[in-house]
Amino acid sequence: MSIRAEARVAVIVQARMSSSRLPGKVLMDLGPGTTLELLVARLRRVGEAADLVIATSVEAGDEPVVGAAEALGVKVTRGPLHDVLERYRAAAEEVRCDGVVRITSDCPLAEPTVIDRLIAMWRAVERLDYVWNTREPRTFPDGLDAEVVSRAALEAAAAETREPYDREHVTPFVRDRPERFAQRALALESPARGVKLSLDTPEDLATIRAFVERVGPDPDLGRILAAAGGGSTAMAAG
């Protein structure tokens, strides 16, 4: 049994309508469903997490996100538009979790097996505050990004940093202080970087629609990696 076997983990997805480059991308049609619908369906297969939460803003413009999430039966929390760190802190407090998986809503193909592996790494070592899969040089395709942060580290960041970059991007305060916050990274043994699967621009929208048409709305990791120019699904912790 892992040291943190009973620790409660929540997957928290930051989502808003007001993207500067592609407004409304969270509810755009990708073919089999919207960005949010595909993402939620995949995140529901994360076995190591007890909660799934959409953390959006209190702005009136994000009411469509609230409505879409509620229609999918997903819990919604709301907070400041630009202080995303506070949104995460408040959401974690509301669901009373011990660890947080941070997912952005522009990653509709977030991979459950990768997220479960990250959570298992976090559970295995009690002192770990942070695990992630985007350490340079990247091995996972852009769009399969995931990170797990302990609630204690998240609350420390929320209490201490006033840097706008830290508040917007949630985890830099923790990640940039490895001497204080113990951390590990997960990497693919065979890098697969041949396609961008995060949704930021109209060009990304066309790419992801074509990718989903090719691999289906709920591909497993092997199918994603093969289509992204990779090979083995073997992962290694570092």
Q: Write out pLDDT tens, residues 110-147.
A: 999 999 999 999 999 999 999 999 999 999 999 999 99
**pLDDT > 90 fraction of the chain, expressed in percent and rounded:** 95
User: Whole-number mean pLDDT of the chain?
Assistant: 97
Least confident of 155-159, 175-179, 188-192: 188-192
Q: Is residue 138 a contact partner of residue 152, using CB atoms and an 8 Å limit? A: no
- Closest by CA position to 19, among listed 134, 105, 102, 101: 105
Buried b (16+ CB within 10 A) or exposed e, 162-174: eeeebbebbbbbb
pLDDT of residue 41: 98
Q: How confident is the model at residue 217 (pLDDT cuts 50, 70, 90)?
A: confident
pLDDT at 1 over 70: no
169 pLDDT above the threshold of 60: yes
Q: What's residue 232's pLDDT?
A: 93
pLDDT higher than 70, residue 224: yes
Which pLDDT does position 76 carry in this prediction? 98
Q: Does the pTM exceed 0.95?
A: yes
Residue 10: pLDDT over 60:
yes
- Using an 8 Å Cβ cutoff, are 126 and 2 in contact? no
pLDDT at 21 over 80: yes
Task: Tokens for 1, please give them.
Answer: 């049994």
**What is the mean predicted confidence (pLDDT) over 139-160?**
98
Query: What's residue 230's pLDDT?
Result: 83
Pick the CATH number of 9-237 from 1.10.10.10, 3.40.50.11260, 3.40.50.300, 3.90.550.10: 3.90.550.10
Domain boundary assignment for the chain: 9-237
Task: Please state, in angstroms and as integers, the Cα–Cα distance from residue 24 to each residue in 125, 151, 213, following that order.
Answer: 39, 29, 21
Place 199 in a pLDDT band, splitting at 50, 70 and 90: very high
pLDDT band at 167 (very low <50, low <70, confident <90, very high): very high
